[in-house]
């Protein structure tokens, strides 16, 4: 039975709901709705003018409606009067195909025909900078190898603890927080879940980190490469496919502990990696992170070629443990839903075609790349990844040609506006 948000509001003393959705550029949009109006909104949705957001619509289009998913409800731990809801977009009685959450749900549905679910965890790196965004907030954070620096971490204890306490209260199972490889950079990890839950939490995490940072007089940014000489913000994802409680990627007899299904899925990611870059590295700034020269700390920690390996962080895909792999291509500007949807669409293609990812590489790719001149490279810039997307039939079949063309059109417009400034 569908949960009544009105009844939940009464029980949890929620006075307002944020009915939210994410557009194609990953921007979080909301309406703040009083609890007295939530029943109607739960049934009919909150109205929005699509043209006012990054969706390929015109001012003449009818209203679109965000119908909240009650399963996604998060009561803001720092303001319990407010409940946050992820929504699916509808227009003229039909789901909006270009709504990123709808795009992900479509791939989840296809996978469920094989009685499988994709589970994933994301590692969202972010910088804490000054309120005007011009510099790292902590001026004492100057080590050349600042990763795991205890003092720099503990100077941000009040903020990190508050965010982590929120995740504990929400039942996300956070388990570690650290200072990352760039000055001013942090990462906070919570448990993996089914990929829709992870995507909703990923959206909420960014909102929470930004909001609580502002409360502490700071500014948080997930921008891929805010400082040229420092490591950028990655958003690695760990992936596995499950049938009920069985991890179908696990095969203990294999050298890396992966099943044939996992290698096929991985093959799909390898084959579509440069196309997926259009979703995973979706901004002009993204390409200053991938293909980057070594940073002040000595490594960029981001890939430049399409390769996979065992437990080795210099490749695009790492197999850190049995039964899962880590895709290291994505950055902090990737749309949380398109991130999961892109992985799933490519993985499904690999499964269906029984793609072989080839032999893994065990070299240090940062130093030995010249020994592998034939290895496919990741795109040099956003234009190139959009060209790959334009040519890719697999993604057009997965998400529809109209949706992909809309995405390309909007992104090209963004590139033009960036370079005309
Ligand atoms: Mg990291």
CATH of segment(s) 107-419: 3.30.590.10
Q: Rounded CA gap, 304 and 379, in Å?
A: 8
pTM: 0.97
Rounded to 5 degrees, φ, ψ at 232 are: -85, 180
Å from CA of 217 to ligand 1 middle:
24
Å from CA of 187 to ligand 1 middle:
6
Å from CA of 213 to ligand 1 middle:
19
Residue-wise pLDDT for 134-170, tens only, equals 999 999 999 999 999 999 999 999 999 999 999 999 9
Which of the 8 DSSP states describes residue 2? P
Å from CA of 297 to ligand 1 middle:
14
Share of the chain above pLDDT 70, in %: 100
pLDDT at 421 over 90: no
Residue 31 is encoded by which pair of tokens?
A: 């309406």
Q: Any idea of the CA torsion for 236, 383, 342, 123, to the nearest 10 degrees?
A: 10
Query: Among 144-153, 346-355, 357-366, which is the least confidently predicted range?
Result: 357-366
Å from CA of 281 to ligand 1 middle:
16
Å from CA of 21 to ligand 1 middle:
27
Q: Rounded CA gap, 63 and 59, in Å?
A: 9
CATH of segment(s) 5-96: 3.10.20.70
Å from CA of 180 to ligand 1 middle:
6
The domain segmentation of the chain, as residue ranges, is 5-96, 107-419
- Crossing angle between the packed helical segments 195-215 and 100-112, to the nearest 10 degrees: 150
Average pLDDT over residues 378-383: 95
Per DSSP, the residues of 66-106 read EEE-GGG-EE-TT-TTEEEEEEEEEETTEE-TT-HHHHHHH
Residue-wise pLDDT for 219-254, tens only, equals 999 999 999 999 999 999 999 999 999 999 999 999
Residue 117 is encoded by which pair of tokens?
A: 């679910």
Closest CA to 313 of 278, 279, 273, 364: 364
Å from CA of 402 to ligand 1 middle:
35
Å from CA of 109 to ligand 1 middle:
31
Per DSSP, the residues of 339-397 read HHHHHHHHHHHHHHHT--------S-HHHHGGG-TTSPBPPSSHHHHHHHHHH-HHHHH
Å from CA of 126 to ligand 1 middle:
9
Å from CA of 51 to ligand 1 middle:
36
Å from CA of 185 to ligand 1 middle:
9
């Amino acid at each position: 039975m569908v949960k009544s948000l009105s009844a939940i509001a009464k029980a949890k003393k929620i006075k307002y709901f944020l009915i939210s959705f994410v557009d194609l550029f990953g921007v979080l949009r909301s309406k703040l709705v009083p609890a007295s109006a939530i029943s109607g909104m739960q049934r009919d949705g909150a109205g929005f003018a699509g043209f006012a957001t990054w969706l390929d619509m015109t001012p003449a289009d009818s209203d679109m409606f965000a119908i909240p998913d009650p399963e996604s409800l998060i009561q803001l731990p720092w303001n319990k009067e407010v409940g946050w809801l992820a929504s699916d977009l509808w227009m003229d009685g039909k789901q909006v195909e270009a709504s990123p959450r709808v795009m992900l749900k479509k791939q989840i549905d296809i996978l469920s025909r094989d009685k499988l679910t994709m589970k994933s965890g994301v590692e969202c790196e972010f910088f804490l900078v000054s309120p005007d965004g011009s510099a790292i907030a902590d001026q004492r954070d100057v080590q050349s190898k600042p990763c795991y620096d205890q003092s720099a971490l503990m100077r941000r204890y009040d903020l990190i603890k508050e965010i982590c306490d929120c995740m504990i209260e929400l039942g996300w199972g956070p388990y570690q927080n650290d200072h990352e490889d760039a000055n001013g950079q942090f990462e906070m990890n919570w448990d993996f879940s089914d990929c829709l839950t992870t995507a909703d939490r990923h959206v909420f995490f960014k909102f929470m980190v930004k909001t609580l940072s502002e409360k502490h007089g700071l500014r948080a940014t997930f921008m891929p490469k805010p400082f040229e000489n420092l490591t950028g913000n990655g958003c690695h994802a760990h992936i596995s496919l499950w049938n009920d409680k069985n991890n179908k990627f696990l095969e203990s007899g294999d050298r890396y502990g992966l099943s044939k299904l996992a290698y096929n899925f991985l093959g799909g990611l390898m084959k579509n990696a440069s196309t997926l870059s259009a979703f995973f590295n979706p901004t002009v700034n993204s390409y200053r992170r991938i293909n980057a020269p070594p940073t002040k700390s000595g490594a960029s920690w981001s890939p430049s070629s399409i390769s996979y390996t065992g437990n080795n962080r210099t490749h695009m895909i790492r197999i850190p443990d049995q039964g899962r792999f880590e895709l290291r291509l994505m950055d902090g500007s990737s749309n949380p839903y398109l991130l999961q949807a892109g992985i799933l669409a490519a993985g499904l293609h690999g499964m269906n075609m029984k793609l072989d990812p080839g032999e893994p590489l065990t070299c240090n790719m940062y130093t030995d790349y010249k020994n592998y001149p034939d290895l496919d490279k990741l795109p040099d810039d956003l234009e190139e990844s959009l060209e790959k997307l334009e040519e890719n039939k697999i993604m057009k079949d997965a998400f529809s040609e109209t949706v992909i063309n809309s995405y390309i059109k909007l992104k090209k417009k963004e590139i033009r506006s960036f370079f005309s400034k």
